[in-house]
Amino acid sequence: MPLDIVIGTQWGDEGKGRVVDLLSRDSHLVARYNGGDNAGHTVIVGRQTYKLHLIPSGIIHPHTTAVLGSGMVLNPQTLSEEMEMLRAAGVEINPDRLWISDAVQLITPAHRLLDRAQEAAKGKGQIGTTGRGIGPAYVDKAARRGLRAGEALDPDHFAGRVREHFEEANRLITGLYQQPGLDVDAMIEEFMAYAALMRPFLRRSGPRVQAALDAGQTVLAEGAQGTLLDVEQGTYPFVTSSTTTSAGVFSGLGLGVQPVRRVVGVVKAFQTRVGAGPFPTELDGEMALFLRGTGANTWDEYGTTTGRPRRVGWLDLVLLRYAREINGLTELFLTKLDVLSGLNEIPVCAAYRRASQTLSSLDFSGDSRLLAQCEPVYQTLPGWQEDLRACRSWDELPAAAQDYVRFIEEQAGVPVKYISVGPERSALIERS
Ligand code: GDP
Ligand code: IMO
Ligand code: MG
């Protein structure tokens, strides 16, 4: 009954999609347990590029079953678009291989509108959300008034609940934010169509996932966002609204706490962040342009969901150690090592200096302002000039690239099991 977990160790966009694609080869079920269509997971197979926001990346492998767990928030419009996109790409979508938890919370146009209105009202203190309605949908869940997908199984009841939701949201939209309300009858019509779309896929998914584990099947949990965006342990308030760490897997899939075989931490060879919040190793100027790229390539650092340029900086090992502890990582998957080719030297943040003290670790979860007061203490490693994109084995990597990888695993205290050197499926080095 192996349960494996893929986790982003940074601020998201570490390359989880391609990691899940790899590990799905040997998994029966691939399940998302947190977040919604704020995620953007890229998988590149040959000439085909998939950008998945909601449905687990493992769906691309025909033998898998994809699960949308109860810890998620689901925008049915995105679901409908993504199903179409996948079908057009030849991926089979049917109720045998796509299960949607009946306890999943629905995102509505009112949540999206409120997300944007709340950000606009914040002025300077903006979080820089994806505008996908994630925060307001989780607010409704916690306030115990959210719409759950399972309610769609009873059309009369659902119509009434949708009316209640939009009437209440309109009071906020028109009253507090002084914007025109949404047309409630039109929304009911739209949501009745979504109800019909979702109905065949709705399941009590937790017991089914547990049954699969009990039967000896392999379940892969696909984390969305990253450790530092966790609503409790991340750089609050500059976080998303769900549990992004490995601990969220159990509640977000409806499983009892049980042993986990692997917790694979995905780490980019440098650091990126979209949206506001502290970022000790952030760079600007020429070096930032080098790491970000120009936007001409699919892997350049522009948001998969929003297209925003990502903030970039050197790899931060203090934060990586934090991610190891919070998630119980068993191994690392290092992505985008190819991007560092061409540098003479590569600084890596090995510690922080704060108030004349040197710190090798920092628990900032109670007050992320601490991070903003930290100066990175860099250790500079030699760079390499060779293009790594054709390397397929450890021995083909230049010595300086091998040393960079060894430094990361020694400093993080977790072995680097995989290294990727390009966005496509085959650009991979597996270490024995
Ligand atoms: P996710 O949200 O963690 O799944 O990551 P995203 O898909 O948002 O962003 C990762 C980006 O990096 C995507 O454009 C991937 O195609 C690309 N990528 C992943 N691994 C590599 C790699 O090893 N090298 C390069 N150059 N690009 C990569
Ligand atoms: P994947 O799964 C990177 C960030 C937003 C913002 C903050 C809150 O592709 O790694 P939200 O819309 O969730 O309320 O925004 O979280 N954010 C992400 N950044 N990758 C993501 O997902 C993200 N999902 C949310 O930019 O700073
Ligand atoms: Mg992403």
Q: What is the CATH number of the domain that holds 61?
A: 3.40.440.10
Q: Against a cut of 0.95, is the pTM above it?
A: yes
Closest CA to 35 of 20, 59, 52: 52
Give 43-48 contacts, CB < 8 A, sequence gap 24+. Answer: 43/17, 43/18, 43/425, 44/18, 44/298, 44/423, 44/424, 44/425, 45/21, 45/424, 45/425, 46/424, 46/425, 48/89
- Helix spans in 13-125 (H): 16-24, 76-88, 109-122
Whether 207 and 165 map to the same domain: the answer is no
Residue type, 134: I
Q: Which ligand is nearest to the CA of 301?
A: 1
Annotated active-site residue 28? The verdict is: no
26-44 pLDDT, tens digit each: 999 999 999 999 999 999 9
Q: How far is CA 82 from CA 14, 18, 115, 327, in A?
A: 22, 18, 22, 30
pLDDT score, position 299: 86
Q: Kindly state the tokens that stand for 63.
A: 């033998």
Q: Kindly state the tokens that stand for 403.
A: 């040393």
Percent of the chain, pLDDT > 70?
Answer: 100
Annotated active-site residue 41? The verdict is: yes
| Three-class secondary structure assignment of 349-391 | EEEEEECCEEECCCCCCCCCHHHHCCEEEEEEEECCCCCCCCC
pLDDT score, position 294: 85
Whether 418 and 361 map to the same domain: the answer is yes
CA atoms within 13 A on the CB side of 123: 1
What is the band of 327 on the pLDDT scale with cuts at 50, 70, 90? very high
Query: Which residue, 217, 242, 263, sits at the end of a domain?
Result: 263
Q: How far apart are CA 10 and CA 267, in angstroms?
A: 7
Whether 128 and 172 map to the same domain: the answer is yes
Whether 50 and 124 map to the same domain: the answer is no
42-84 pLDDT, tens digit each: 999 999 999 999 999 999 999 999 999 999 999 999 999 999 9
Could you count the other beta carbons within 10 Å of the beta carbon of residue 313?
21
Q: Is 38 in the pocket of ligand 2 (CB under 6 A)?
A: yes
Q: One of 4, 37, 41, 111 is an active-site residue; which one?
A: 41
CA 254 from chain centre, in angstroms, equals 19
pLDDT score, position 303: 82
- For range 11-38, the mean pLDDT: 98
Instruction: List residues, by chain if needed, whose CB lies under 5 Å from ion ligand 3.
Output: 13, 40, 304
Query: Which residue, 144, 172, 198, sits at the end of a domain?
Result: 198
Q: Which atom of ligand 1 is nearest to the CA of 8?
A: 3
Whether 131 and 176 map to the same domain: the answer is yes
Q: Domain residues for 183?
A: 105-198
Whether 337 and 236 map to the same domain: the answer is no
Q: How far is CA 316 from CA 74, 95, 319, 376, in A?
A: 32, 42, 6, 8
pLDDT score, position 215: 97
Which secondary structure element, helix H or strand E, spans residue 160, and what is its range? helix 155-175
What is the band of 306 on the pLDDT scale with cuts at 50, 70, 90? confident
CA atoms within 13 A on the CB side of 145: 14
pLDDT score, position 307: 83
Whether 394 and 245 map to the same domain: the answer is no
- For range 79-106, the mean pLDDT: 98
Q: List the CATH number of the domain containing 344.
A: 3.90.170.10
Whether 305 and 419 map to the same domain: the answer is yes
Whether 276 and 369 map to the same domain: the answer is yes
**pLDDT(223) > 90:** yes
Whether 150 and 44 map to the same domain: the answer is no
Q: How many domains are there within the chain? A: 3
257-266 pLDDT, tens digit each: 999 999 999 9
Q: Kindly state the tokens that stand for 329.
A: 């990582």
Q: Is 16 in the pocket of ligand 1 (CB under 6 A)?
A: yes
**pLDDT(279) > 80:** yes
Q: Is 42 in the pocket of ligand 1 (CB under 6 A)?
A: yes
CA 315 from chain centre, in angstroms, equals 18
Whether 293 and 344 map to the same domain: the answer is yes
- For range 404-414, the mean pLDDT: 98
**pLDDT(98) > 90:** yes
Q: How far is CA 148 from CA 36, 109, 389, in A?
A: 14, 15, 45
Closest CA to 46 of 97, 94, 90: 90
Whether 79 and 223 map to the same domain: the answer is yes
160-211 pLDDT, tens digit each: 999 999 999 999 999 999 999 999 999 999 999 999 999 999 999 999 999 9
pLDDT score, position 56: 98
Query: Which residue, 242, 263, 284, sits at the end of a domain?
Result: 263
290 CA distance to ligand 3 centroid (A)? Answer: 20
pLDDT score, position 63: 98
- Out of 274, 308, 335, 336, give the residue to mutate to test ligand 2, the one with the largest number of ligand atoms within 8 Å of its CB: 274
